[in-house]
Chains A and B, each alone.
Chain A
Amino acid sequence: MMKYLSNTASLELLSEHCTGCGRCLEVCPHEVFSVKEGKALILDKDRCMECGACVNNCAFGALKVDKGVGCAAALINSMITGGEPTCGCSGNGETSCCG
């Protein structure tokens, strides 16, 4: 499995809110989580791509992440325009890199 830069992902697990339901395991596309003894735990944070699937689907607010696009073009664009980094980098407003 390819991993990106170490120690950069902003994912946080607030164990005290976790009920161990396992929803985060189900939605995570990179096997970041595991559940042991009724609590979720982060197996490897460096696999996290900050997509926000786990945070969105945690009904107990036990997860936090600085969700966003991991896309250089979008980030450079937002630095220039001062806007939020989003897809649609070619400047036509909507689609470009994404199909």
Chain B
Amino acid sequence: MSELKFIKPGAQEKASACCGTAQSAPQSSPDVSCNTCSPVRTEARPAWITGALASDIGAIPIISTDLVGSDYWEHIKCRVSDFRNNYAVNPGLYAVGAPDGNSDVFVSANYKLSFDVLRKALKGLNAWVLVLDTKGINVWCAAGKGTFGTAELTQRISVTKLARVVEHRRVIVPQLGAPGISAHIVKKSSGFKVSYGPVRAEDIGAYVASGYKATKEMRTVKFPLNDRLVLTPMEINPAMKKYYPWYALIILAVFGLRPDGILFRDAVAGGLPFLLLGLTAVFAGALVTPLLLPFIPFKSFAIKGWITGILFTVLFERLIAMPWHSISTLRFFTYLFFPLASSYIALQFTGSTTFTGMSGVKKELRISLPLYIAGVAASIVLLTIHKLTEWRLI
């Protein structure tokens, strides 16, 4: 057990910015002024580091348990954009409050959103936070990939010299880290016993207060409306970026195409309702289906998405005067293509849910993929027939 001493933030700003026991920091010397270390962040000390504890294993950064406006703003950016792909903190050991050799060690991922949720939940506690290098990915996903895993935990315990910081031999790992961790192997290789904490960081206070007992409630993952809602931008974005531009291009080309060239006026006039229908399908599959997930009949996501898709297609047709006249080919196309598109998009949400397993998704794909491919092929045929009829070729 090393002696721990508080260092004022101002005096050791550089030390607390990047060192501590973080990954690549030199740790042989108790000297905390380490201008030479070069982990990912060498810029100014982040605001959430409020000071450092000096110990004979190096300076251990003290972190704030209060989130500020910029943290919340960054969290919003994570939800809606690629910002989250580069939102990491340095792996290593951090201090919360005034921990000592008997304080608990909470293990986390180095995705800053996960880290922020944890430090906020530790308000009022004196504890250590051991951040694993999960390449900036949250605990559950990283555990699935194995980066939040037995090897990394064992190695991080060793690299941070945790055994010299705490007298006990136990770490508290979030329950959702369990798919990557084998507690019995960690015990064997590091000497540290793994206790699985609650699923949600906000339950940590109650978990600790009850003598490290998690209730059934704390052990279970739920998937309420709010959790589903925050995930929908990541369904809408890829659909709009990956598929919609191609779809729009094809629609405009089909409607603008004349025997003597492409007419922009025809493209827009004829294509607009179908561009809007495309948006409706994205809306139905990527937003409405996830939000109403438990209320839409059937367990298959493909069917759920198809149901939402057909309802919105009908609604669209009723609300907007579609240029059908006698053109039933286009109507066939509409009712074939858009519910299928919504179905396909809704199926992608399986990747974001908390309860879909691989075997089930494989089964859905086995049945639905051939239908999607056949549907797209039939759609192309229908659009071709429409054009040929328009040009009075058939």
Contacts and interface: CB of A to CB of B under 8 A. Distances in A.
B265 interface: no
Interface in B137-151: 137-138, 141-145, 150
Interface in B176-217: 176, 178-184, 196, 199, 214, 216
B182 A6 contact: no
A3 B358 contact: no
A34 to B, nearest CB: 11
Contacts of A2: 223, 293-294, 353, 355
Interface in A45-98: 47-53, 56-57, 59, 66-76, 79, 85-87, 89-90, 92, 94-98
Contacts of B87: 99
Interface in B95-147: 111, 113, 135-138, 141-145
Contact of B184 (A9, A59, A79): A59
Contacts of B70: none
What band does the interface of chain B fall in when counting residues whose beta carbon is under 8 Å from A?
Answer: 35 or more
A98 B362 contact: no
B178 A72 contact: no
Interface stretch (B28-36, B268-276, B343-351): B343-351
B388 interface: no
Contacts of B356: 4, 49, 70-71
Nearest to A9: B357
Contact of A29 (B79, B350, B354, B362): B354
Interface string A5-23: 1101110000000000001
A51 B176 CA distance: 9
Contacts of A89: 351
A90 B111 contact: no
A71 B358 CA distance: 7
B231 to A, nearest CB: 9
Interface in A25-54: 25-31, 47-53
Give the most central of B142, B182, B357, B363: most A CB within 10 Å: B357
B234 interface: yes
Given A49-B356, A66-B359, A98 B141 contact: yes
Shortest Cβ-Cβ A-B pairs, 6 listed: A71-B351, A68-B358, A98-B141, A53-B178, A50-B357, A70-B356
14 contacts: A26-B196, A29-B219, A51-B178, A56-B178, A67-B179, A69-B144, A70-B350, A71-B350, A71-B352, A72-B347, A72-B364, A96-B85, A97-B234, A99-B79
Given A10-B359, A31-B220, A71-B361, 16 more contacts: A3-B355, A4-B357, A8-B357, A8-B363, A29-B175, A29-B220, A30-B220, A48-B357, A49-B354, A53-B175, A57-B184, A87-B145, A95-B84, A99-B78, A99-B79, A99-B137
